[in-house]
Chains A and B, each alone.
Chain A
Amino acid sequence: MPLAFLRLDLEYAKRGYARYAAYPAATLAGLFTNTVFGFMRAFILLALFEGGGEIGGYDRAATVTYAWLTQGLAATIFIWGWQDLGLRIRTGDIATDLIRPVHPLRAGLAFDVGRSLCHAIFRGVPPVVIGSLVFGITTPSGPAVWLAFGLSCGLAIVVSYAFRAIYNVASFWLLDWRGTTILAITAANFFSGFVIPVAFFPLPLEAIARATPFPAMLQVPVDIFVGRVAGAEVVAALASQLAWAILLLLAATWLFDRGVRRLVVQGG
């Protein structure tokens, strides 16, 4: 029964993959951009380690790895602006999603998992491979860490989707959705550890970041990959990601359902 239930999600995911695979030029452009920024960020971050040493548990090798890994993961997990759902709400196209016997957020999540797979293959892995060829990166110490990293990436995608869904759902209430979106993206970029590792933050700021769901989108899988988080800490990290995933999905669903209640579809 659970398998039959997941069948629909699998079908959505397949179409999510196909939808993004249908635009190879956009994917190629994205890959190119990711790679160029990978070089820039790697060189900038390396400058911090001129005199050797460690910052927040990151040494030189871990930092280079961080730079390339985040470059690959950012597209896969999609921490950047996403407006697909908000646009459907604002144009009223959401009406066509509501007449389906499937919750639009469930369909959206499954679709996004398919998208992330497409992005992982074509925009995620290549920059990391290029980075490892040019700079050399540290890789997980064993299959258990690889597995934990994979799980962590999966959870990061769910957390990211739920967060994106929340600021998109705001379009039910807000006419000025642009401000909210910019704020949400900026917060996600900074606190997720995409700009610099969360461990590099001054202490109060790091404490704030750790209290938000953002590190669960990016920093956690990276920390597991480079071994900064190891052993029992990995389990705790995965558990906190899972908790954020559930919490944010519930929040997004609650907000979405509230929004639908007061839905006014324009025009027609």
Chain B
Amino acid sequence: MALVDVQDLRKEFVVRRGSGLRRERVVVRAVDGITFAIESGSIVGYIGPNGAGKSTTVKMLTGILVPSGGRVSVAGFVPSKQRTKLAARIGVMFGQRVQLWWDLPLIESFELLRHIYRVPAERFRQNLDMLGAALELGPFLRTPVRQLSLGQRIRGELTAAMLHEPDILFLDEPTIGLDVVARQRVRELLLRANRERGLTVLLTSHDLVDIERLCSRILVIDHGHLVYDGGLETLKERYGTERVLVVDLEEPRPPLDVEGARVIKVDGPRQWIAFERERTNAARLTAQVAALAPLRDLTLQEPDIEDVVRRIYAEGATGSAGRSSTA
């Protein structure tokens, strides 16, 4: 059986709007029939615009939210019914919540977690040494959590989520507030744990490098629906339909008027022309441009993952990014 098995998962919230006699109950479907399975040993990115239902899903997977419908199984447990048993097998990090004990030195939180998860002392020492070295915790291990910087705290939170060697890690924005070097360290740590002991990770991140470097598979959620489940390359093809033709003209010109495309930027004689894969192609576009103005040079820019994901976050996967598979 898959480590995570989700079938037709639903979560509805009842929201009351208005006041007095005009109050009405509105049912909001935060998660509306999601099905997927995650095999042990994979790193899966879970992305979508704010409010798409990402956190709601993760809360149902960890047992802190009871589904309105559908079935969930994580590590063989039904999370909402066997939350405490499941807790020992999973690690969770919520980006914007503090799980460490605020008033205590960082090391005290770790020591307490050792007892909570019954990690043998020797094992705990090894794990803390490994995580401490990988995330450079040494300088602030004895500092109270309330005095840590965001980046230091996030590294502490990640350590706290991994000390008991969970089978699966749920990470919400694991690199938020970290500098470039620390981000890279976090990624290396996750990849290493994945490689060496088959750690499974489900992560949400606004950092596209995280997604690109870590995730072999991506789930895109929008308006409570799973709108994409697959690899990175296919995602680019599917959502990154807009390519850009960069043309160098003989001399500066006002933005060219070409059918099926639009000029998005002009810099002297250079113009950036964006076009949809479905509406025209690079050859036809080049011919059109050449007919309008003498061409000196041209290059074609493929959409990169950053554009794709930024568009998904900004506009919603079913918005202007095109296809609607949710219907």
Contact = CB atoms under 8 A, between A and B. Distances in A.
Interface stretch (B39-47, B63-71, B267-275): B63-71
Nearest to A94: B64
Given A15-B101, A263-B65, A264-B13, A99 B87 contact: yes
A36 interface: no
Contacts of A102: 84, 116
A233 interface: no
- Chain A interface size band reads 20 to 34
A103 B116 CA distance: 11
A209 B220 CA distance: 59
Interface string A251-268: 000000000011111011
Interface in B94-117: 94, 96-99, 101, 103-104, 108, 111-112, 115-117
Nearest to B85: A101
A19 B104 CA distance: 6
Contacts of B85: 101
Interface stretch (A5-13, A56-64, A137-145, A182-190): A5-13
Contacts of B116: 8, 100-102
A101 B172 CA distance: 20
Given A101-B85, A268-B59, A263 B101 contact: no
Contact of A96 (B88, B98, B103): B98
Interface of A is mostly: loop
Contact of A11 (B88, B94, B112, B172): B112
A99 B116 CA distance: 11
B98 A99 contact: no
A199 interface: no
A95 B97 CA distance: 9
A98 B83 contact: yes
Contacts, number: 71
A4 B275 CA distance: 68
Given A15-B101, A101-B88, A265 B112 contact: no
Nearest to A91: B97
A96 B88 CA distance: 13
B115 A263 contact: no
A98 B82 CA distance: 11
B14 to A, nearest CB: 9
Contacts of A15: 101, 104, 108, 112
Given A22-B104, A99-B90, A7 B115 contact: yes
Given A15-B112, A93-B97, A263-B64, A268 B172 contact: yes
A40 B256 CA distance: 87
Instruction: Pick from B66, B96, B104, B112 the residue with the most CB of A within 10 Å.
Output: B112
B96 A268 contact: yes
A92 interface: yes
A195 interface: no
Nearest to A103: B84
B92 interface: yes
A120 to B, nearest CB: 19
B255 interface: no
B55 interface: yes
A4 B55 CA distance: 36
A18 interface: yes
A11 B87 CA distance: 19
Contacts of B103: 19, 22-23
Nearest to B95: A268
Contacts of A98: 63-64, 83
A261 B66 contact: yes
B151 interface: no
B152 interface: no
Contact of A100 (B87, B98, B144): B87
B94 A101 contact: no
Contacts of A262: 66
Given A99-B62, A99-B87, A268 B94 contact: yes
Contacts of A8: 115-116
Contacts of A96: 92, 94, 97-99
A267 B50 CA distance: 10
Contacts of B104: 15, 18-19, 22
Contacts of B55: 267-268
Interface string B212-239: 0000000000000000000000000000
A260 to B, nearest CB: 8
Contact of A95 (B13, B94, B111, B112): B94
Contact of A12 (B59, B87, B112): B112
Given A98-B64, A263-B64, A268-B55, 11 more contacts: A11-B115, A22-B104, A96-B94, A96-B97, A99-B87, A101-B116, A102-B116, A261-B66, A265-B64, A268-B56, A268-B96
15 contacts: A11-B111, A11-B112, A18-B104, A19-B103, A22-B104, A92-B97, A101-B84, A101-B85, A101-B116, A263-B65, A264-B65, A265-B65, A267-B55, A268-B55, A268-B56
Interface of A: 7-8, 11-12, 15, 18-19, 22-23, 92-93, 95-96, 98-103, 261-265, 267-268
